[in-house]
Every structure is written in structure tokens, then in C-alpha cells.
Amino acid sequence: MQTNPIQLFDPVSSTYTYIIAGPGSDAAVIIDPVDHHCERDLAHIARLGLRLEYILETHAHADHVTSAGRLRQLTGAHAAVPSGCGIPPAEVQLHDGDVIRFGAGETVAVLHTPGHTAGSMCYVWRGNVFTGDTLLIDGCGRTDFQGGSAGALYDSITHQLFALPDATRVWPAHDYKGQAVSTIGWEKARNARVAGRSRDEFIALMDNLRLPQPKLIDIAVPANRNLGLPHGV
């Protein structure tokens, strides 16, 4: 049975989706699925003889629409989301320190890591951390909408994520440079936005990025707060 994350990519939004499963069970978890890859993801799950048990979101994304609601309808899996992201249709509202249990003794530890958005969360499983937009490879998520805070992001990265073992593999929600995976140790030493910067220096950097708004933000955020389903469904 697969014990490394299966990493799938959406080239339109540069989004990574992950499927995880442990030995001794057919139970699987999917993290940050994208709407127009629903059939692809279901095909991977079926090919491996897996059964989807949980759908996890790291936050309410602004650059793509999730397939969480549709996957839940098709598979009966539970949707589990950060409690601070305003996604009321999900039956599992996660809080810092929660543990998601699936399969034959598999556990996913939940870390509340605000900063990119107020409710953002990261998930730790078998020496891997799925960091959403909190920590990217050689970068980090922006902090200028959805309750974002540069100071909170710095604290989340340096106090929560950098407290994990250096060998922990980092799997981000996005990458724009063809990179797939990193480690906590590498990011602590070399991350271009965080490494060697004080909290005040990081805040000054983030507050002056002046990035354009995501093209789909007005569509994606409301849709994702309903698990990607049309409102009323």
C-alpha cells in the first residue's frame, strides 16, 4: 500500500492535490482537490483500490474552486475544513490540535497556522506536512486578504512549522517554479522570504508586495465556502 503522498497538479492554478493512504486499509484522504480534476482524482483512487474517507481543505482558496462537495456526494467521504474559514456545509470543523483518524491507525495532526488567511491549517502525517499556502517551497502565501496577517504568518511558520523535525517533508498547495517537495530543514535555512529575517522585516516585506488580486477570487471564495457547490445545493 502507498505510504508516500500521491501528488497531483493543476497547471491552470498551479495547485497541488494530495492523496494519502496507509498500509492495512483501503481508507484514503484527499487534500485540496480542484473542481475540474474530480474525475481524475476518483480514477486514481479507484485504480489503487482505495476508498475515500476524508476530504481536507487547508483554507478557502481564492484561485480555484474545490471539488470537495462533489467528491462528498459521489463517495460519501467526510468534508473536514478549518473552523475559522467560514465553510459551514462541512460536517467536520477542525481546530488546532485535532487529530483525524482513518484507516488502520493512521492519524493526521491538525495545526492552525493563520496568516495567509485567518483560518489556514496545515496537516501532519507520517513525517510529511501539507502546508497549504502557509509555507511554499522557497516562499510563502500572500497575506493581504481573507483576514490575512503578515505577523501571524511569520509566527505560524517560525513557531509551528519550523518546530517540526528538520527531516519533515514539506508539500505545499502551490508551486510556480516546477518544484515538488522540500523539507522543514531546507526552508528554515534557505526560504527566501523567511530565513534570516526578523518578524518586523518579514512584515515590511509582505506589506509591500503589491500583488494583483487572484483572477477568480470573487468566484472561488464564495464557491469554496459552499464546498464548491452552487449555493442552495
H-helix segments, the chain = 38-47, 68-75, 150-155, 184-190, 199-206, 217-224
* C-alpha cell at position 61: 482558496
pLDDT digits (tens, 9 = 90+) for 28-56: 999 999 999 999 999 999 999 999 999 99
Structural domain includes residue 223: no
Structural domain includes residue 51: yes
Structural domain includes residue 107: yes
pLDDT digits (tens, 9 = 90+) for 118-166: 999 999 999 999 999 999 999 999 999 999 999 999 999 999 999 999 9
Spatial distance between the Cα atoms of 150 and 140, rounded to a whole number of angstroms:
10
Kindly write down the DSSP assignment for every residue of 68-124, as one continuous string: HHHHHHHH-PEEEEEGGG--TT-SEEE-TT-EEEETTTEEEEEEE--SSSTT-EEEE
Spatial distance between the Cα atoms of 87 and 131, rounded to a whole number of angstroms:
19
Q: What is the pTM of this model?
A: 0.97
Structural domain includes residue 187: yes
Q: Domain total for the chain? A: 1
Structural domain includes residue 222: no
CA-closest candidate to residue 34, choices 174, 143, 148, 128: 174
pLDDT digits (tens, 9 = 90+) for 65-108: 999 999 999 999 999 999 999 999 999 999 999 999 999 999 99
The pLDDT value given to residue 232: 66
* C-alpha cell at position 229: 457547490
Q: Which residues contact 179 (CB under 8 A, 6 or more apart)?
A: 137, 138
Domain boundaries, position 60 = 6-210
pLDDT digits (tens, 9 = 90+) for 164-222: 999 999 999 999 999 999 999 999 999 999 999 999 999 999 999 999 999 999 999 99
CATH number, domain containing residue 106: 3.60.15.10
Q: Are 146 and 118 in contact (CB under 8 A)?
A: yes
Spatial distance between the Cα atoms of 183 and 138, rounded to a whole number of angstroms:
10
Structural domain includes residue 63: yes
What is the average pLDDT across 17-30?
A: 97
* C-alpha cell at position 175: 508551486
Structural domain includes residue 159: yes
